[in-house]
C-alpha cells in the first residue's frame, strides 16, 4: 500500500508528560515511527499542500498560537517544553490575552500534550502526509496510508490535547469533500474516543463519524465518546459511538465493529477515512483491550469489504516493539 511519511515528523520531541500524577517520559515518541518504518518496505515523502487544507479544519487564531507557542515560551524565559496549567472551564469567554500560560490553557483541553520546539513542523508534515494519502486515493488508489505523527483525533478546531495538534483525519476528510466527494465516513478504531474529530463534524450531515473505543466512563478522554452522543442539527444521527469495556477481545470487538460498518453502509458513503490506532493491542502500556497482532488482519479485511476508496491515518499505539508488526498486519488486510 502506498504509504506517506516525512522525516520532519520526527522533530516533535517533548520530554515528559503528566501521567497518573507524575511526570514520565513522553509515550508518543519518535521510536514509534522508527519501529513502523522498519516493518514497512518503503515510504514516500508527501508534497507540500500548504496551509489552505489545514485552515479548512482549524481556526486561524489556534494555528497562529500553535506556530508561536514554543518561541513565546522561550521568550518568556522558560526552559524545555511549553506546558499549560490553567484552563478556562468556568465562565469562559473569548478573551485575547498575551500571556503564553493563558493561551496554553485557552487552546488545550488536557495536560498531556506539551509543545516542543519541533511540534509545529512535525504536526504540519503529518497533515501533509494525510493529504498525500488522500490525493493518492482520489487519483484511483484503492487505499493509502498516512503514517501520521503526531496523531490527530483528539484535537478540535481550536484546541490541542491527547498528543494531538492538527486533526489529520479531519484534514483528509475535508480535502476529499473539497475535491468533490459528497458523503464521507470516518471510522475511528483507536483505543481512545476521537473527541476532536467528533467535535469538528458534530453538526455536519455530510460526514459520518463512527468510533469503536474504550468506554469513556473508565478511560481517557472521559467527557466524550458516550453512547448517547449522536450529533446535532444537520448532523443529528451522523455520530455513532460504540464504547467497549476494558478487556475487550477480538470476538466482542468484531461485534461492535460490524455495527459500525453497517452504519457506514446505510449512510451511503462515497469515501472512507480510517483513524487507525494500534493501542487496542493487548500489550499496550496505557490501554486495556486484548487484541493480538494477528487480529488486525481480519479487522482490516472487514473494513476493506465496504469496498470504498479508503484513506488510513495513524493515530495511537504505544507498545513500540510491536507497533510495526501491528500496522503491517492491519495494512495486509487491504492487500
For the window 176-205, what string marks contact with ligand Q9C as x by the rule CB under 6 A? --------------x-x-------------
User: Distance (Å, rounded) from C-alpha 306 to C-alpha 184?
Assistant: 13
For the window 120-159, what string marks contact with ligand Q9C as x by the rule CB under 6 A? -------------------------------x--x-----
b/e code 219-236 from CB counts within 10 Å (16+ = b): bbbeebbeeebebeeebe
Q: How far is the CB of 148 from Zn ion (least distance, A)?
A: 13
From 55-63, 160-168, 174-182, 242-250, give the range in contact with ligand Q9C by CB under 6 A.
Answer: 160-168
Q: Which of 16, 286, 290, 328 binds ligand Q9C (CB under 6 A)?
A: 286
Closer Cβ to Zn ion, 65 or 318, answer by number: 318
Contact 66, 124 (CB under 8 A): no
- Annotated catalytic residue within 58, 83, 154, 213: 154
20 part of the interface to ligand Q9C, by CB under 6 A: yes
Contact 234, 201 (CB under 8 A): no
- Would residue 146 be called left, alpha or beta, if left means φ above 0 and alpha means ψ between -120 and 50 degrees? beta
User: Distance (Å, rounded) from C-alpha 246 to C-alpha 169?
Assistant: 25
The residues that touch Zn ion, with contacts defined as CB under 5 A, are: 190-192, 277, 279, 316
Q: Which of 5, 26, 73, 220 binds ligand Q9C (CB under 6 A)?
A: 220
Q: How far is the CB of 330 from Zn ion (least distance, A)?
A: 14
Instruction: Count how many Cα atoms sit within 13 Å of the Cα of residue 139 in the half-sphere of its side chain.
Output: 8
Q: How far is the CB of 237 from ligand Q9C (least distance, A)?
A: 26
277 part of the interface to ligand Q9C, by CB under 6 A: yes
DSSP code for 313: E
Q: Which of 11, 199, 279, 295 binds ligand Q9C (CB under 6 A)?
A: 279
3-state SS assignment for residue 122:
helix
Find all residues with CB under 8 Å of 9, minimum gap 6, and list them: 33, 122, 125, 126, 129, 147, 148, 149, 150
Check if 193 is active-site: no
Q: Which three cell numbers stand for residue 45?
A: 515523502
Q: Which of 163, 202, 209, 330 binds ligand Q9C (CB under 6 A)?
A: 163
User: Distance (Å, rounded) from C-alpha 48 to C-alpha 85?
Assistant: 34
Q: How far is the CB of 196 from Zn ion (least distance, A)?
A: 12
Closer Cβ to ligand Q9C, 260 or 277, answer by number: 277
Which string of DSSP letters, residue by residue, matches 147-179? Answer: --SS--TT-BTTBBBTTBSS-HHHHHHHHHHHT
Closer Cβ to ligand Q9C, 20 or 41, answer by number: 20
User: Distance (Å, rounded) from C-alpha 162 to C-alpha 224?
Assistant: 13
Closer Cβ to ligand Q9C, 163 or 334, answer by number: 163
Alpha-carbon Rg for the chain in angstroms:
18
162 part of the interface to ligand Q9C, by CB under 6 A: yes
Q: How far is the CB of 205 from ligand Q9C (least distance, A)?
A: 27
Just list the catalytic residues: 154
Tell me which residues touch ligand Q9C (CB under 6 A).
Answer: 19-20, 112, 151, 154, 162-164, 190, 192, 220, 277, 279, 286, 315-316
Amino acid at each position: 500500500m502506498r504509504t506517506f511519511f516525512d522525516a520532519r515528523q520526527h522533530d516533535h520531541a517533548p520530554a515528559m508528560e503528566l501521567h497518573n500524577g507524575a511526570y514520565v517520559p513522553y509515550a508518543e515518541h519518535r521510536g514509534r515511527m522508527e519501529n513502523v518504518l522498519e516493518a514497512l518496505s518503503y515510504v514516500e515523502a508527501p508534497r507540500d499542500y500548504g496551509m489552505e487544507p489545514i485552515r479548512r479544519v482549524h481556526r486561524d487564531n489556534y494555528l497562529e498560537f500553535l506556530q508561536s507557542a514554543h518561541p513565546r515560551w522561550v521568550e518568556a524565559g522558560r526552559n524545555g517544553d511549553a506546558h499549560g496549567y490553567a484552563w478556562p472551564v468556568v465562565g469562559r469567554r473569548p478573551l485575547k490575552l498575551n500571556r503564553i500560560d493563558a493561551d496554553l490553557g485557552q487552546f488545550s483541553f488536557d495536560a498531556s500534550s506539551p509543545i516542543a520546539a519541533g511540534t509545529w513542523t512535525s504536526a504540519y508534515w503529518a497533515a501533509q502526509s494525510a493529504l498525500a494519502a488522500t490525493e493518492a486515493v482520489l487519483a484511483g488508489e484503492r487505499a493509502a496510508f498516512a503514517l501520521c505523527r503526531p496523531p490527530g483525533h483528539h484535537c478540535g478546531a481550536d484546541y490541542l490535547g491527547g498528543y494531538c495538534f492538527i486533526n489529520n483525519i479531519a484534514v483528509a476528510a475535508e480535502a476529499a469533500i473539497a475535491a468533490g466527494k459528497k458523503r464521507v465516513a470516518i471510522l475511528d478504531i483507536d483505543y481512545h474516543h476521537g473527541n476532536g474529530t467528533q467535535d469538528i463534524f458534530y453538526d455536519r450531515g455530510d460526514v459520518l463519524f463512527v468510533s469503536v473505543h474504550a468506554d469513556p466512563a473508565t478511560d481517557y478522554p472521559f467527557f466524550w465518546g458516550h453512547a448517547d452522543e449522536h450529533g446535532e442539527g444537520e448532523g443529528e444521527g451522523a455520530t455513532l459511538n460504540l464504547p467497549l469495556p476494558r478487556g475487550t477481545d477480538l470476538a466482542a470487538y468484531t461485534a461492535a465493529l460490524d455495527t459500525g460498518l453497517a452504519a457506514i453502509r446505510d449512510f451511503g458513503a462515497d469515501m472512507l477515512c480510517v483513524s487507525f490506532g494500534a493501542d487496542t493491542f493487548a500489550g499496550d502500556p496505557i490501554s486495556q483491550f486484548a487484541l493480538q497482532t494477528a487480529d488486525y488482519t481480519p479487522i482490516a479485511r472487514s473494513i476493506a469489504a465496504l469496498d470504498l476508496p479508503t484513506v488510513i491515518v495513524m493515530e495511537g499505539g504505544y507498545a513500540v516493539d510491536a507497533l510495526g508488526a501491528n500496522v503491517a498486519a492491519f495494512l495486509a488486510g487491504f492487500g
